[in-house]
């Protein structure tokens, strides 16, 4: 337990640290990578360059300081971060490194005095222990499951399929011929790469894009123009190649009961966790809506697969929006709506007060969808979403 004196010091100095925000996080990362360059094999340097990881750290530190006397309020955020940390195989020793550089950054930039440094050290120690304990529990849960493991495990690419002009699927089986642990539809898989030409090991998380199977995992990856890993996977990864994977993780997953109506909403490659959910809802007794938005037919992945699923299961309802359909899209009636995804056009199908909403896509799209849902009177308890990369509240 934190002492009252520590709580008071941290809360009183939190506004000063908040004001130093971007400068503090920039100094922290530069200091840490200078002293511990081995961590460049763990942190996503693309997110470093974009500032997304730095912003996420600053938000986490500020939230902790603001709620230091009410740690219960932080538990959802702790779970989300802990799940992501296990995908990076974070260790207790690395928390010590982060703590050392965080405290040094506060001291070097703000010179607040030893009492403040000691209070933040105590507070950080408590927070680190919460994360370490939860992450160890997740590691053990993964290891103890049928087909489970701890750490990295070698897999072989057994199938590579082009789903659209920008999305390709990759199916992996364990190189040891064993089973794989089950996952919850919506969770992601961690992939570790350091092929020739990569300066650092690259770690990425990709949503599992199919219902659980006992001998394989499938991910579906969008080629990003500047995406180092996505371009490598699309251009160079071939069947028979091997790669290290860590167990599935993530706190965003389907939780609906068989008699609960569900609406799945996605844009672009955000359909990947939604597809895993859809394939897992075939035994569902209540209605299931599939709402997907995409640029046009050339970018539309899994179109035929979803269409067949909806034909086979009468409780499935599919509606597709093309933002800029081309002539062929129009001639072949490949879509239901033109323009941006508008829930008012389908509000009669989502009016059940028990309906649960799951959605994923670019941040702007998710903010747009969240706003529409709230305008339609959907409360937060029925809204569930996933951000690719550092989390953001909508």
Please write the tens of the pLDDT for every residue from 244-256.
999 999 999 999 8
Q: Which residues contact 334 (CB under 8 A, 6 or more apart)?
A: 297, 300, 303, 320, 322, 325, 328
271 is in an annotated binding site: yes
389 is in an annotated binding site: yes
pLDDT at 50: 53
Q: Phi and psi of 139, rounded to 5°? A: -55, -45
Domain 262-386 belongs to what topology? Rossmann fold (3.40.50)
Q: In this prediction, what percent of the chain has a pLDDT beyond 70?
A: 96
Active site residue: 29, 95, 124, 322, which one? 95
pLDDT at 319: 98
205 is in an annotated binding site: yes
> What six digits make up the tokens of 119?
């209070």
Active site residue: 29, 135, 139, 385, which one? 135
371 is in an annotated binding site: no
CATH superfamily of 153-249: Translation factors (2.40.30.10)
Name the residue with higher pLDDT: 19 or 62: 19
Specify the pairing of strand 288-294 against strand 217-222.
unpaired
188 is in an annotated binding site: yes
pLDDT band, very low/low/confident/very high, at 74 (cuts 50, 70, 90): confident
Q: Please report which helix (H) or strand (E) contains residue 168, including its range.
A: strand 167-174
Res. 52: pLDDT tops 80: no
Instruction: Note if 95 is an active site residue.
Output: yes
147 is in an annotated binding site: no
pLDDT at 218: 98
Instruction: Note if 124 is an active site residue.
Output: no
Tens digits of per-residue pLDDT, 198-225? 999 999 999 999 999 999 999 999 999 9
CATH superfamily of 4-144: Globins (1.10.490.10)
Mean pLDDT of the 52-73 span = 79
Res. 364: pLDDT tops 80: yes
Which of 37-46, 145-154, 155-164, 339-348 is predicted least confidently?
37-46
Mean pLDDT for the chain overall = 93
- Contact criterion met (CB below 8 Å) for 227 and 173: no
Rounded to whole angstroms, the Cα distance separating 270 from 283 reads 23
pTM of the model: 0.93
Which of 74-88, 125-139, 174-188 is predicted least confidently?
74-88
User: Edge-to-edge strands of the sheet including 383-386?
Assistant: 337-338, 316-322, 288-294, 262-267, 356-360, 383-386
Name the residue with higher pLDDT: 256 or 117: 117
> What six digits make up the tokens of 126?
């408590």
Res. 392: pLDDT tops 70: no
């Amino acid at each position: 337990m934190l002492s009252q004196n520590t709580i008071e010091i941290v809360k009183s100095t939190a506004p000063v640290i908040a004001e130093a925000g971007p400068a503090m996080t920039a100094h922290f990362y530069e200091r840490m990578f200078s002293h511990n360059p081995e961590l460049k094999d763990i942190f996503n340097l693309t997110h470093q360059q974009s500032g997304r990881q730095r912003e996420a750290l600053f938000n986490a530190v500020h939230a902790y300081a603001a709620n230091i006397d009410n740690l219960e309020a932080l538990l959802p955020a702790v779970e989300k971060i802990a799940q992501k940390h296990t995908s990076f195989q974070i260790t207790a020793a690395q928390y010590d490194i982060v703590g050392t550089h965080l405290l040094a950054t506060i001291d070097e930039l703000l010179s607040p005095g030893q009492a403040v440094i000691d209070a933040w050290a105590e507070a950080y120690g408590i927070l680190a222990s919460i994360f370490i304990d939860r992450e160890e529990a997740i590691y053990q849960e993964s290891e103890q499951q049928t087909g489970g493991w701890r750490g990295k495990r070698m897999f072989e690419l057994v199938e590579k399929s082009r789903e659209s002009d920008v999305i390709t699927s990759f199916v992996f089986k364990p190189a040891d011929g064993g089973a794989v642990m089950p996952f919850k539809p919506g969770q992601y898989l961690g992939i570790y790469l350091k092929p020739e030409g990569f300066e650092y090991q690259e770690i990425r998380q990709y949503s599992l894009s199919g219902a659980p199977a006992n001998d394989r995992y499938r991910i579906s990856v969008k080629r990003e123009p500047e995406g180092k890993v996505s371009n490598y996977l699309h251009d160079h990864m071939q069947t028979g190649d091997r790669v290290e994977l860590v167990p599935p993780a993530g706190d965003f997953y389907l939780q609906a009961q068989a008699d609960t109506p569900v609406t799945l909403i996605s844009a672009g490659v955000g359909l990947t966790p939604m597809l895993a959910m859809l394939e897992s809802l075939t035994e569902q007794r209540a209605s299931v809506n599939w709402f997907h938005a995409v640029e046009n037919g050339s970018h539309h992945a899994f179109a035929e697969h979803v269409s067949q699923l909806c034909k086979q299961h009468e409780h499935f309802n599919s509606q597709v929006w093309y933002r800029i359909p081309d002539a062929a899209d129009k001639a072949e009636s490949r879509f239901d709506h033109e323009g941006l995804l508008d829930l008012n056009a389908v509000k009669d199908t989502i009016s059940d007060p028990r309906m649960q909403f799951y959605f994923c896509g670019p941040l702007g799209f998710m903010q747009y969808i969240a706003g529409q849902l709230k305008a339609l009177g959907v409360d937060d308890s029925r809204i569930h979403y996933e951000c690719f990369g550092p989390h953001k509240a909508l």
